[in-house]
Structure 1
Amino acid sequence: MAENASQEHSSELSDNSSIEQVELTVRIIDDQTDNSSIEQVELIVPITDDPTDNSAIVQVELTVPITDDPTLPVVTFRVWVLGTLSCIILSFLNQFFSFTRESLSISSITAQIAVVPIGNLMASAITNRIFFKGKLWEFTLNPGPFNIKEHVLITIFANSGAGTVYSIYIVSAVKIFYQKKLTFLVALFLVRTTQLLGFGWAGILRRYLVEPASMWWPSNLVQVSIFRALHEKEGRPKGGMTRNQFFLIAFICSFAYYVFPGYLFPMLTSLSWVCWTFPHSILAQQLGSGLSGLGLGAVGLDWSTITSYLGSPLASPWFATANIAVGYVFIIYILTPITYWLNIYKAKAFPIFSSRLYTSSGHKYNISSIIDSKFHLDVDAYERVGPLYLSTSFAMTYGVGFATLAATVVHVFLFHGSEIWMLSKSASQDRKMDVHMSLMSKYKQVPESWFMWILGTNIVSAIFFCEYYNDQLQLPWWGIMLACAIGLFFTLPIGIIAATTNQVPGLNIITEYIIGYLYPRRPIANMCFKVYGYISMEQALTFLTDLKLGHYMKIPPRTMFMAQIVGTILASFVYLGTAWWLMETVPNICETALLPPDSPWACPADLVFYSASVIWGVIGPRRIFGDLGTYFGVNWFFLAGAIAPLLVWIAHKAFPRHEWICLINMPILIGSTGIMPYATAVNYTSWIIVGFFSSFVIYRYRRNWWQRHNYVLSGALDAGLAFMGVLLYLCLGSKNVNLNWWGENLDGCPLASCPTEKGVIVPGCPAF
């Protein structure tokens, strides 16, 4: 019914020829009760000569408003105050927690919720006096009620402080683990250039990844739903509740519930019943462990477990969820066990699921024993210790990464090549526009030259600093150029995948691989190349996501440009300042061997980044995946990844009536487990279960409920978790207050990490 009404409304709009404000009488009918009510709503609607349609994406049509009020003030005193504060606070907290054992990540949804009462308070308390009235610089501190466009712009500032700044890992690796000289100026240059470089790609690729209606960026619909729930006034349906009421109830429930998995009963993070049923069986625990095994039957009753690595399952379209589920089942339950039980690459000598590095005898690899005083590989020592080995799951991760990159390029070429070509040939005004593009065309656009200027400035700055401070960074000028070329090349194909599936294949593996061959035995150069090649793409996708959010919420493009630039620069200073302060003031930070067991400063992500720099930068890919390495056969995954989308494309051409074939997305299917490990099986099983019920069952059979509440629920769960997570850490975690009872025993599968090869002796494991 909602779809029919929307289609009728769209057809009415297309018959008119000017933009005007109209007052509509809307009859709201509840499908469940057959009751109806009438209310008056005032809308600004698009009416143009060109044929404009609502989005072809049903989820967008059901979620994003097709209205705009260009008279709303956007850049206000409230935006500058709340936006900069949100950016600073989130930047500080996320960098602070990234060094702790829990690595809590606080999303911008937290700030999105928190600023609403403050914005309303400022609107009611601050004077509305107009200063310098009639002058060119006339302004007021209070232009009226706190509005939705101000709220969106504040959230754009907050997005700059959400997540992590990847280049900080270089700083911690050099200063803490390698203990080499790195000045604050050079560190600041690294952070600033890597964060802003992707802005150039974003500007160049707006035509392909923001303006088309088919590029819908599913994660944005969560924030759009929250904005509408917090700002739109709606009558409470009979027997139901408004979206705002639903949000508040879900938020309170999420906030209260996280006390259990977050502190009182951590076992809820991973319930592995197979291990409890077979407490003495290595095979059963390898299969059933959600944290150290294949997670057969494991489930997590913790929203952070569900969303930690794959994002919100409520924001994932069903076809993407199904692709991930199929890929996960094939790789984890078929390919990995076969590889392990056939003992390929001595797999049984190591745990089936682990991110650690091993010797051929199944013991942990002592990386420091093969590094000389200049932080280069000691070849003689490496020959004595022997080659480095990976667990089956870790080796599979690299193979999956190789295949995903090849599949991404081939898939986009086959399924989106003609579309990209048409977009390249045609100017944006000549293309058929949906209603959102039609509304946004009324605003003054950002010239592409602005983005090109930022891009050129950052590339030149990066080349200058890397050459001038080569003793600290090791990377030559051609490394910067090559890294930028890789980042630009992959941004479009990976951006298309991200914009349509909400999943992002990573570039970190291929960048490490390339520079490891071209410039071996230089770990810092390897890290810098990876960051410039990988993060330029990641940042471009972040900027593009925000641009699409502004597109949906009708924020003037030049205002968006300002907020993104200012927020990114501000966040860079805060992130680096926080990290530098902690590294200078916390004794032995990140050095787990020197820290007490209960120390929170474990820096898990920094340790992984450092280990990767040793694998790819010190030992090098030639001694792992090349002619001198053990895992040369893994390179065949490149070929397999390139062939897989071709097979789907041929099937689609052979059977054009079977539309479901086009929904097979090989980059997502193959790359489904690309973050395992560090993501664990329980993250996937829980995510797939929730995604199935949300995007298939509820979407198909309770469409009205899904339309009103699905994305609102996702945002409420995120916000409740974030607020309680911070509160628990500040009140209990930072004081090392623990309960010390069996409910803290995560997973309960101690034998899952044991090897099964005869003669391999590991403490705590039975010998064969």
Structure 2
Amino acid sequence: MDDPTLPALTFRTWTLGLTSCLVLAFLNQFFGYRQNPLSVPPLAAQLVTLPLGRLMAAKLPKKKVKFPGTAGWEFSMNPGPFNVKEHVLITILANSGANGVYAVHIVTMMRALYHRSIHPLAAFLLSQTTQLLGYGWAGIFRKFMVDSPYMWWPPNLIQVALFRFSLSLALSRSVYDQRFLCDGRQHNCRALHEKEVRRRGGTTRLQFFFVVFAISFAYYIVPNYLFPFASAFSIGCVIWKGSVLAQQLTSGYRGLGIGAFGLDWATISSYLGTPIATPGHAILNVMAGFVLFLYVLVPIAYWTDSYHAKRFPLISSGVFDGAGHRYDTATVINPKTFQFNPEGYSKVGPIHLSPFFVLSYGLNFATLAAIFTHIILFHGRSLWDQTTQAVKNQKMDVHTRLMRKNYERVPEWWFGVLLLITIALAFAACLGFGGQLQLPWWGILLACAVSFAFTLPIGILTATTNVQPGLNIITEMIIGYTYPGRPLANVSFKTYGYVSMMQAIYFLSDFKLGHYMKIPPKSMFVVQLVGTVVATSLYFGTSWWLLSTIPNICDSEKNPLWDCPNDNVFYSASIIWGVVGPVRMFGRLGLYSKQNWWFLAGLLAPIPVWVSSRMFPERKWIKLINVPVILGGVLMMPPAGAVNYWSWGVVGILFNVVIYKRYKKWWSQHTYVMSAGLDTGVAFSAVLAYFALQTWLGPNDEYGPIWWGHVDGSYNCDLAKCPTAAGVVVDGCPVVSGLDA
């Protein structure tokens, strides 16, 4: 169904859409530097803008407004009832504000962690070009990834079901997606643009959203200001204040987290996203991998002293020298050229990692390999059929027929011109400003080639299986081997090669959503382009402002509330892959060359599960064992800690296993709304507390009342970071004698 007369790009669309984009971009970047970084989802904007749009339709004047100084250009502030096409475009703009800007990590790394300046215009151009480059690839592949009915993009079905009730595709593709869209029975589905009648004594979903928002907003003052210990209870650290071993076992962030838990929604959802939106079987897979990793592999590696593990903290994403001290990066980098210094490296020696960090890289290698084996074995035939049908273009479904009948396509040259302009600006960013970003011209072209080569295969996987492997490790390896010793070149290449591919997939997914909802393609293009530029600008501006105004930002010792966990991991990766390089880490000159065997392990790991599923087809639960999810579920460690995983897993199992089975109707109507309300309430409460309470503090003032609950749970566990090898001296840690060891 389609009504091509419905207005799409209206005054309401731009007003509500750009406001949503700006608010989400600011909140998500603001939270990105916090100890528990929280992402406010576009679903929150999708819910809030519906009554606002209807209010504008009821109250705004319908008289047309003329643009001053133009020849008859005019528009109406109120072209009629608020419609679903406007709402979709508003959500697309909100998506732009919620997706994040990867290049901001480079700005943070340089200013807060390397303590070096970076030209603001170079950083701004880097941010914009890495976000916009994907448009070119999206334009090239949209015929296969959008027009084809075989590329159906599972996550879009949730959005479609929220917008419209009558779309048969959203109710017929699979049992898996039906569970998300409603409760397996068509008459129980609810859509935002379907009139919802409030039951006596009950609430509509929008009312429920605001109730949850108010409770979340009010409660967050407790863990954020009054009682930070609630964000990560580590009772063992309080009981055994002088025991390194006890704190290693019980610390929620720096240890194994035995008995640690959090009463803070930011702790629960900050790293792994909301558990309420994750299927129960996926949660069980993630938690199985988490337990195997943290309670089997890490303890074995540490207490057998593998790679001299006891010289370093049990859980850490930092880089160390052989004596157990923080790695002297300044000596290994030439201060004038900001490149690898061989003489300094010979003094400091090779980089050492905690066993936790070493194994996390190993699992990263294994996950990358396991994804391809899993896809080939479990989805290979259907994936091949869908791909060949998409290339042959033998079938045109109802959506494509309606779109071609009612709307003009976006001309190919629009994408081509934008691609050329973006590449030209990328050359200006990398080759101008004294070559500050270190990436040569051929590096830009190589990054474009890598991104282009992977967009179609990764896009097909995402569109048909909702599995999206990242290229960050691959891009780090490529530039690390071909152009070593330059940290900025490494991270810039990674951003161009990895993020532009991810952006292309985001754009294609949004185009498919517009395809399902019959949005004029040119309107989609304009909204995506404007949303990307506006959101990127605000992400960059918010980052620059916070880095300039918050003392000791990204220093976990001096300012634990603003410890930039993701940026610290990004910084360590720049040292490992960029400064020292993969040859001296995982290659023939490295201490960790054996970690490359994880590629083979990951390649083989899905085979036993596949064989078992074929031998015992009646046991349906075997097919729910997903090896890439088991291996890759812990890849948020670091920066996530055990307390984040335990809290996330408990809440997820409660809602998506227990409540889903017993109270399916309530689950189908309220879970996503509740999740959005919790995220939004926490975000607005934290921003209000920051401006009302924290911005007026001096660098030595305390944030919150002074009592024993004022200290965050993780920082009652200072001894958890201590080494246990004999003779290693670290500030604040007891020195272990040879007899004690």
TM-score (norm 2): 0.84
Partner of 2:221: 259
In structure 1, the partner of 2:581 is 620
User: Does 2:133 match 1:170?
Assistant: no
Aligned pairs for 1:238-637 within 5 A? 240-276=202-238, 278-373=240-335, 374-427=337-390, 430-431=394-395, 444=407, 446=409, 449=412, 450-451=414-415, 454-455=418-419, 457-459=421-423, 461-463=425-427, 466-467=430-431, 471-491=435-455, 505-547=469-511, 549-550=513-514, 553-580=517-544, 586=549, 590=553, 597=558, 605-637=566-598
Q: In the alignment, is residue 142 of structure 1 matched against residue 105 of structure 2? A: no
Q: What does 1:148-163 align with in structure 2 at a 5 Å threshold?
A: 148-163=84-99
1:604-643 per-position Cα deviation (integer Å, ceiling 9, x unaligned) = 5444433432222111111111111111111111111111
8 A Cα contact 2:262 2:268, kept in partner: yes
**Following superposition of structure 1 onto structure 2, how do residues 3-42 of structure 1 map, counting pairs within 5 Å?**
none
1:423-444 Cα distance to aligned partner (Å, 9 max, x none) = 33324874496x8788777753
Q: Which moved more, 1:550-559 or 1:679-688?
A: 550-559
Q: Partner of 1:629: helix, strand, or coil?
A: coil
Q: 1:753 aligns with which of 721, 726, 733?
A: 721
Cα separation, partners in 2 of 1:363 and 1:175, compared to 1, 3 Å: closer
* Pair 422,101 (structure 1): closer, same or farther in 2 beyond 3 Å: closer
- Could you tell me which runs of 5 or more consecutive residues in structure 1 were left unpaired when the two chains were aligned: 1-45, 47-67
CA–CA distance in 2 between the matches of 1:549 and 1:749?
Answer: 47
Looking at structure 2, the residues matched to 286 and 500 of structure 1 have their Cα atoms a distance apart, in angstroms, of 42
- SS of the equivalent of 1:285 reads helix
Cα-to-partner distance string for 1:61-110 (whole Å, 9 max, x where unaligned): xxxxxxx6655432111111222233334434544554567756444345
Residues 255 and 724, structure 1, Cα contact 8 Å, conserved in 2: yes
Partner of 2:732: 764
Which residue is equivalent to 2:135?
199
Q: 1:539 Cα shift?
A: 2.0
Pick from 195, 198, 221 the counterpart of residue 158 of structure 2.
221
Cα deviation, residue 467, structure 1: 4.8
1:324 Cα deviation after fit:
0.8
Assess if the C-alpha contact under 8 Å between 1:398 and 1:509 holds in 2: no
Q: Which amino acid aligns with 2:496?
A: Y
Task: Assess if the C-alpha contact under 8 Å between 2:569 and 2:638 holds in 1.
Answer: no
Distance in 1, matches of 2:470 and 2:296, equals 24
Is the counterpart of residue 78 in structure 1 residue 12 in structure 2?
Answer: yes
Percent sequence identity over matched residues?
A: 50
Which amino acid in structure 1 is aligned with residue 262 of structure 2?
A: G
Q: Distance in 1 between matches of 2:596 and 2:411?
A: 39
1:706 equivalenced with 2:667 (yes/no): yes
**Cα distance, 1:574 vs structure 2:** 3.2
How far, CA to CA, are the matches of 1:347 and 1:448 in structure 2?
Answer: 58
Structure 2 residue ranges without an equivalent (≥5): 165-189, 698-702
How far off its partner does 1:386 sit? 2.1
1:739 equivalent among 697, 705, 716: 705
| 1:749 alignment partner AA | C
> Which whole-Å CA distance do the structure 1 matches of 2:362 and 2:215 have between them?
41
In structure 2, give the amino acid aligned to 1:411: H
Letter in 1 for 2:640: A
For the residue of structure 1 that corresponds to 2:208, the secondary structure is helix
Alignment-mate amino acid for residue 700 of structure 1 = K
Of residues 384-393 and 449-458 in structure 1, the stretch that sits farther from structure 2 once superposed is: 449-458
Question: Residues 562 and 510 of structure 1: is their aligned pair in 2 closer, same or farther, counting only changes over 3 Å?
Answer: same
Name which of 126, 148, 163 aligns with 2:60.
126
Distance 2:219 2:191 in 1: 22
Aligned in 2, Cα 1:484/1:646: closer, same or farther, shift over 3 Å?
farther
Which residue identity lines up with residue 660 of structure 1 in the other structure?
W
Q: Structure 2: which amino acid aligns with 1:191? A: S
AA matched with 2:271: Y
Distance 1:765 1:436, change over 3 A: farther
Whole-Å Cα distance in 2 between the matches of residues 109 and 722 of structure 1? 14
Shift of 1:231: 4.8
Partners of 2:592 and 2:33 lie apart in 1 by 32
CA 103–321 in structure 1, closer or farther in 2 if over 3 Å, else same: closer
Distance 2:388 2:86 in 1: 36
Change (3 A) 1:753 1:503: farther
Size of the alignment, in residue pairs?
Answer: 697
When residues 281 and 606 of structure 1 are mapped into structure 2, their CA distance, relative to the original with a 3 A threshold, is: closer
Superimposed CA distance per residue, residues 235-257 of structure 1 (whole angstroms, 9 cap, x where no aligned partner)? 23355433233222222222222
Q: Note if contact 2:149-2:396 (Cα within 8 Å) is conserved in structure 1.
A: no
Contact persistence 1:106–1:163 (CA under 8 A): no
Contact map agreement 2:452 2:501 (CA 8 A) in 1 = yes
Post-superposition offset of 1:136: 9.2
Deviates more, 1:353-362 or 1:223-232: 223-232
Q: 1:238 to 1:77 in 2, by over 3 A?
A: closer
Letter in 2 for 1:76: T
Quick one: distance in 2 between partners of 1:491 and 1:685?
35
CA distance in 2, matches of 1:242, 1:447: 39
Tell whether the 8 Å contact from 2:148 to 2:396 is kept in structure 1 after alignment: no
Contact 2:36/2:266 (<8 A) preserved: no
Question: CA separation in 2, counterparts of 1:462 and 1:419?
Answer: 39
Identify if the C-alpha distance between structure 1 residues 138 and 745 changes in structure 2 by more than 3 Å, giving closer, same or farther.
closer
Give the equivalent residue in structure 2 for 1:88: 22
Cα distance change on mapping 1:334 and 1:220 into 2, 3 Å: farther
Q: Take 2:147 and 2:596, find their aligned partners in 1: how far apart are those partners?
A: 35
SS of alignment partner, residue 528 of structure 1: helix
Given the alignment, which residue of 611, 618, 642 partners 1:681?
A: 642
1:616/1:257 Cα in 2 relative to 1: closer, same or farther (>3 Å)? same
- State how far apart, in whole Å, the 2-side matches of 1:97 and 1:569 are: 20
